[in-house]
Amino acid sequence: MNDVRRIGPGRGSVIASLRELWGGRGLLRAIAGREFRVRYTQSILGVAWALAHPLVLMGVFTVVFGKIVHVGSEGQPYPLFSYAGLLPWTFLATGTTLAMRSLVAHVDLVTKVYFPRELLPLASLAASLVDFLIALGVFLLVFLAYGRVPGASWLWLAPLIMVQAVLAVGIALFTAALNVRFRDVKHVMPLMLQAWLYMSPVIYPMASVPDRLRGVFALNPMAGLVDGYRAVLLHGHAPDAALLLTSAAVSLLTLILGWAYFHRVEAYFADVI
């Protein structure tokens, strides 16, 4: 009559896990919707808080690096230049931070109900993706306010968003699973993200990276993404192909390794958390 399930020691097959993950998409929507709504209930500004992070950083960067230190901005107004870079960065930083905490934050669910565990970090990222899209809408308004008009190159946003999502999911799955076992992760991660921000061309243009460091820099998946966003949004041309492909490859590898670790340890989450 029905499917028979075997529950034994160790982990299930990869195919079965992926099928189950697909079956859980309704629940993903429910949890992501909850995350999004809960985050802004009882706050006066509500969804406007989604914009606070990139806007405040844009303001600070513009004053410090645009007016005081005079970092190059590829001939663009510094606010536009930094905001374009902050778009993927903010999504990655806030999304993965929330996702990293997601399993531990839902102890009651993890220890009392079964569902594909990936759904919790994925839901955090989905909610952050909505924030990202709102921030992108605001970028459009600022862009228009500067008297500029979006061109066909903006269509490149679709693959860029896909690459950043793949990267974020990989990091989210790995850090969320690791945080179940080692709570040290929640202390280490903000530090790592801080360092990563400075190592990525968010504040400064990719062009100011010395040639001999460029190869190493390109391995940072955020380099291709940030540079890609600027090419597409500000310069009206396609992203640097080599840079973006490197980004995509590293992101995919991150996803595979991140999920492999998650899959290896998820059976014991409820025992350890």
- # of chain residues touching another protein (CB under 8 A): 40
Closest to 147 measured CA to CA, from 77, 63, 249, 195: 77
Residue 268 binds another protein (CB under 8 A): yes
> Least separation, in Å, of the C-beta of 46 and another protein?
13
Q: To the nearest 10°, report the CA torsion of 44, 46, 48, 49.
A: 90
The whole-angstrom separation of Cα 157 and Cα 150 is 12
> Least separation, in Å, of the C-beta of 111 and another protein?
6
Out of 67, 70, 112, 212, point to the residue binding another protein (CB under 8 A).
112
Residue 45 binds another protein (CB under 8 A): no
Residue 14 binds another protein (CB under 8 A): no
Residue 15 binds another protein (CB under 8 A): no
The count of other CB atoms within 10 Å of the CB of residue 14 is 11
Out of 19, 22, 34, 45, point to the residue binding another protein (CB under 8 A).
34
Exposure on the CB side of residue 23, measured as CA atoms within 13 A: 9
Residues 158-217 that bind another protein (CB under 8 A): 181-184
Q: Which residue's CB is nearer to another protein, number 27 or number 256?
A: 27
Out of 14, 38, 199, 216, point to the residue binding another protein (CB under 8 A).
38
* Eight-class DSSP state of 44: S
The whole-angstrom separation of Cα 159 and Cα 155 is 8
Q: Which residue's CB is nearer to another protein, number 49 or number 146?
A: 49
The CA–CA distances, whole Å, from 273 to 10, 37, 165, 177, 241 equal 17, 26, 26, 10, 43
The whole-angstrom separation of Cα 17 and Cα 222 is 29
Out of 19, 22, 30, 195, point to the residue binding another protein (CB under 8 A).
30
For another protein, the binding residues (CB under 8 A) are 1-10, 26-27, 29-31, 34, 37-38, 41-42, 106, 108-115, 181-184, 265, 267-268, 270-273
